[in-house]
Structure 1
Amino acid sequence: MTGHVIGIAGWKNSGKTTLTVGLVAELSRRGWRVSTIKRAHHDADVDHEGTDTFRHRQAGASEVILATGRRWALVHELRDEEEPALDDLLARLAPCDLVVVEGFKRGGHPKIETRRREARDHEPLPASANVVAIAADHPVADAAVPVFALDAVPAIADFVEKAAGLR
């Protein structure tokens, strides 16, 4: 069973990956076992043409595991299947204390919304997004949730630990 889940969500170029990486580093440093799930909107590929595992997938393999002395990776080719729901992906993770989910704006899990002046869109995420905090590089007026500076990673990690019931 996977531990608690916190999302990092926002519009394109809002600082999601930077905050995710910072939180993972800080929470891991504090001794928590953290896993991540990243939602990409494009045809992202962790394998590339020319590798043996790519050739296995191209030949029709549904799943390919690459195993080395340092790590292993599973690639599941969807073919004609629907994209899995977040709950299905969470169920595939090994046990951990916290999962940081980057993206999945429409999921029901609690989220920290990222906002940057340089983002493509400046509209707040919809109320249905279950935003429990905001991390921004500019002042946010009239917020109904706690607001943090986008680079205040230790303070955001404190909030996440408390919100997730880790401390």
Structure 2
Amino acid sequence: MRLFGLTGWSGAGKTTLIKRLIPRLIGRGLSVSTVKHAHHGFDVDHPGKDSYAHRVAGATEVLVSSPLRIALMHELRGAPEPELVDLLPRLAPVDIVLVEGFKREPHPKLEIHRAVVGKPCLFPDDPDIVAVASDGPLPDATVPVLALDDVQAIVDLVVAQAIPVDQVIARAAAVR
């Protein structure tokens, strides 16, 4: 498994780009999984569902299985939020893992930058950002700048720059 991340400020278009990358990567014969960081609480489970009742009753993990998909919900119950490297072993093997968010974790990343968001670029302070995909020119960029709508060039970058998950884990261990 190899891994590559997309990072940027909220509203920059990370999810939109990932939705465009996945079919192109699959079209190249690659299997793809994603890991997304949510900065806020979220829930995939709702009152009235049996799995919700199991969690509310105190179950640490609830695994729901159907003929179409499985979902594992793990309640942290006050434990610290896991880091990216703690989550990666939970994934089934695939060719490419796309990571959305986790901007402070050490792995190769493409920064998504849109001027309308009104935030500064992240690449000057993050040596793991290997390029920027932008909706406009960035004349002071010290990394390659790709057009945000040039999905083919971005797919090429992802395939070329993705690194083995083992390397991601080793890099994170060196930082810890």
Would you say same fold, with TM above 0.5?
Answer: yes
Given the alignment, which residue of 4, 7, 18 partners 2:5?
7
Q: Distance in 1 between matches of 2:136 and 2:126?
A: 23
Q: 1:1-167 maps to which residues of 2 (within 5 A)?
A: 3-119=1-117, 121-125=118-122, 126-128=124-126, 130-164=128-162
1:86 partner letter: L
Cα deviation, residue 127, structure 1 = 2.2
Q: Distance in 2 between matches of 1:104 and 1:57?
A: 26
Q: Distance in 2 between matches of 1:17 and 1:164?
A: 18
Alpha-carbon RMSD: 1.5
What secondary structure does 1:118 align onto?
Answer: helix
The answer as to whether partners of 1:67 and 1:73 remain within 8 angstroms in 2 is yes
Higher helix fraction (1 or 2): 2
Cα deviation, residue 118, structure 1 = 2.5
Q: Deviations over 1:27-61 (max 9, x none)?
A: 11211011100000111111122211111111111
Displacement over 6 Å in runs of 4+: none
The answer as to whether partners of 2:61 and 2:75 remain within 8 angstroms in 1 is yes
The answer as to whether partners of 2:61 and 2:73 remain within 8 angstroms in 1 is yes
Q: Distance in 1 between matches of 2:145 and 2:137?
A: 9
Q: Distance in 2 between matches of 1:4 and 1:165?
A: 5
What secondary structure does 2:25 align onto?
Answer: helix
What secondary structure does 2:159 align onto?
Answer: helix
- Give the TM-score normalised by the residue count of structure 2: 0.87
Number of equivalenced pairs:
163
Identity %: 51
The answer as to whether partners of 1:107 and 1:129 remain within 8 angstroms in 2 is no
Q: Distance in 2 between matches of 1:25 and 1:39?
A: 21
